[in-house]
Structure 1
Amino acid sequence: MRINLVLELLDSPGQLVKALEPISVYGANLVTVIHKRDYKNENGKVPVQLTLEGEHEDLKKVVDRFEELGFSIIELDGVVRKEKITTIFFGHIVDQDLRDTMDRINELDGVEIVAFDIKLNGEEKSTALINIEADIGKKQIVFDKIAEIAEEKELLVINEV
């Protein structure tokens, strides 16, 4: 059996080697690896395309191990598994318990904030750009949670279209 997948790895020494380790541990064969360092995203991660061969159960163990190690599997056999969602909050973000806002988004199953950039303007209102990675099909759930938080905390929210 053969599978093709795309992982997102931090662009730092040792990450690729760490990602390749489960392949040999579970007896799979690495057919192709394309490490696209020129395509670093805003989180400092790069896509790595892998083609693996092996027994179905061994390949499943490799994929499970990738997830245990915290590697994002963006695509598996041509099927996109993660969506990137970008939203902006505007208002008194810090005063409204920034940690609570992040925790409430992260508590959604299959959803994770991968970047949170805030622009402070003294005592004035602030702007936060939030990058979220979510399992396919969870986009509306994320938007609903963001709208709930924004309404409760009196923040203006701008979601992507």
Structure 2
Amino acid sequence: MRVDLVLELLDSPGQLVKVLEPISTFGANLVTVIHKRDYKNDNGKVPVQLTLEGEHEDIQGIVNRFEDLGFSIIEMDGVVKKEKISTILFGHIVDQDLRDTMDRINELDGVVIVAFDIKLNGEEKSTALINIEADIGRKQVLFDRIAEIAEEKDLLVINEV
């Protein structure tokens, strides 16, 4: 079996080596690796393209291990697995328990906040830009959760279209 993967890795020493370990452990062959360090995304991650060959069970074991290690598989055999979603919150964000807001978003299956930027304006209302990575098909569930949180905390939400 041959599979093409695109992963996102932190641009820090040792990350690529950590990706190679499961491939060796499961006895698959690494056919191609393209490490695009010039293409960092907003949260400092870089795409790495891999082509692997091996038995179906071994490839599945590698993919599972990547996920266990926290590596984001954003594409598999040309099929996008993750999408990036941005949303803006406006209001008294910090006063309304910022940690609770983030935890409630992150507790959704297949959803993780990858960046959270907040602009404070003294005692006035604040603006937060939230960048989220979600499994394909989870966007509406995510938007529903954010709307629920915003209504409860009296925040204005601006979702991407």
Report if TM-score (shorter chain) is over 0.5. yes
- The equivalent of 2:48 in structure 1 is 48
- The equivalent of 1:26 in structure 2 is 26
Residue 4 (1) aligns with residue 4 (2): yes
Q: CA deviation at 1:138?
A: 0.4
Q: CA deviation at 1:4?
A: 0.2
Separation in structure 1 between the aligned mates of residue 117 and residue 88 of structure 2, nearest angstrom: 10
Letter in 2 for 1:6: V
Structure 1 stretches lacking a partner, 5+ long: none
Q: CA deviation at 1:61?
A: 0.5
Separation in structure 1 between the aligned mates of residue 20 and residue 11 of structure 2, nearest angstrom: 15
Separation in structure 2 between the aligned mates of residue 119 and residue 8 of structure 1, nearest angstrom: 27
Separation in structure 2 between the aligned mates of residue 10 and residue 19 of structure 1, nearest angstrom: 11
Q: CA deviation at 1:29?
A: 0.3
Identity %: 86
Separation in structure 2 between the aligned mates of residue 152 and residue 62 of structure 1, nearest angstrom: 42
Cα displacement string for residues 100-138 of structure 1 (whole angstroms, at most 9, x for unaligned residues)? 000100111111111101111111110000001111000
What pairs with 1:119-130 in structure 2 (closer than 5 Å)?
119-130=119-130
Question: What TM-score do you get using the length of structure 1 for normalisation?
Answer: 0.99
Residue 57 (1) aligns with residue 57 (2): yes
Cα displacement string for residues 36-60 of structure 1 (whole angstroms, at most 9, x for unaligned residues)? 1111001110000000000111111
Question: What TM-score do you get using the length of structure 2 for normalisation?
Answer: 0.99
Separation in structure 2 between the aligned mates of residue 101 and residue 148 of structure 1, nearest angstrom: 10
Separation in structure 2 between the aligned mates of residue 39 and residue 19 of structure 1, nearest angstrom: 18
* Structure 2 residue matching 1:134: 3-state secondary structure: strand
Runs of 4+ in 1 over 2 A off after TM superposition: none
